[in-house]
Amino acid sequence: MMVGEDQSYPDHPERFDSWSQVLCREGLTGRCYWEVERRGDVAIGVTYRGITRRGGGDDSWLGGNNKSWCLYCNDHRYSTRYNDSETDIPLSPSGSTRVGVYLDRPAGSLSFYRVSPGVGGSSHTLTHIHTFWTTFTQEDLLPGFGLWTSCSSKRVDFIRRLDLATHELAVQQHLADTFNDGPSGPTLGSV
C-alpha cells in the first residue's frame, strides 16, 4: 500500500472514506504470524471487521476504538494505541523497517516484534515491542494498515504470512519469559 496522488475509485461500504487505511479480506483464526515491511509513518494493526469505515473520527482509525489494536511506527519511535489511548514504547526501531505480528487468538494475545537481520547470514532476530492482552469475540479479525499523509515517503508491504512453526518457539519463549504466561496464565501450545 502506498499513498500518492488521489485516485478515482467507486464508493464501496468496506472502504475507509477519510483515513488512508486498508484491511485484508481474510479473517484471522487460531494462531498466526506475519511480517510487514514499512517505510515512513505507518500503522500496523488488527481490527474486527465491524470497525466504522465512514467519517474521520477516532472510531474509524486503527487503535482509536475498542474494536482495533495498533502499533504506530516510523524511523524514530514506536507507540501502541487501543481505545484512543496511546502509549509510547521505549524501544527504537534501530534501522529496522520490518515488524512481525503474532496473534494467538485463543490465548487473547496480539504481539508486535522488531525484526532485525541476523548477524553473518543467521536467521532474523525478533525483539519484543508490545503485547496486547484481551478476550477476542467471535467476530472476524482482520489485519489492517494505515499511512500518515504528513510523511513524504510512505509505504507498507504485507511481506508474507509465515509458517508459524518457524517463529512460534521464539515467540513462545519470549512470552513465557516476559509475561510469565500472561495475566490469565495462557499456555501457548503447538499449533
135 or 10, greater pLDDT: 135
For 151-171, the pLDDT digits (tens) are 444 444 544 454 444 444 455
Would residue 9 count as lying in a domain? Answer: no
3-state secondary structure of 50: coil
Tell me what pLDDT residue 114 has: 94
Q: How many domains does the chain have?
A: 1
Judge if pTM exceeds 0.95. Answer: no
| Domain encompassing residue 170 | 21-179
For 100-158, the pLDDT digits (tens) are 999 999 999 999 999 988 776 667 789 999 999 999 988 889 888 887 655 444 444 54
Q: Domain with 45 in it: what CATH number?
A: 2.60.120.920
Would residue 59 count as lying in a domain? Answer: yes
Would residue 143 count as lying in a domain? Answer: yes
Tell me what pLDDT residue 20 has: 66
DSSP secondary structure, 56-98, as one string: SSGGGSTTSSTTEEEEEE-SS-EEEEETTEEEEES---TT--E
Q: How far apart are CA 36 and CA 159, in angstroms?
A: 5
Would residue 71 count as lying in a domain? Answer: yes
155 or 24, greater pLDDT: 24
Would residue 14 count as lying in a domain? Answer: no
Would residue 16 count as lying in a domain? Answer: no
For 34-93, the pLDDT digits (tens) are 988 887 888 899 988 876 666 666 665 678 888 989 999 988 999 999 998 999 999 988
Would residue 156 count as lying in a domain? Answer: yes
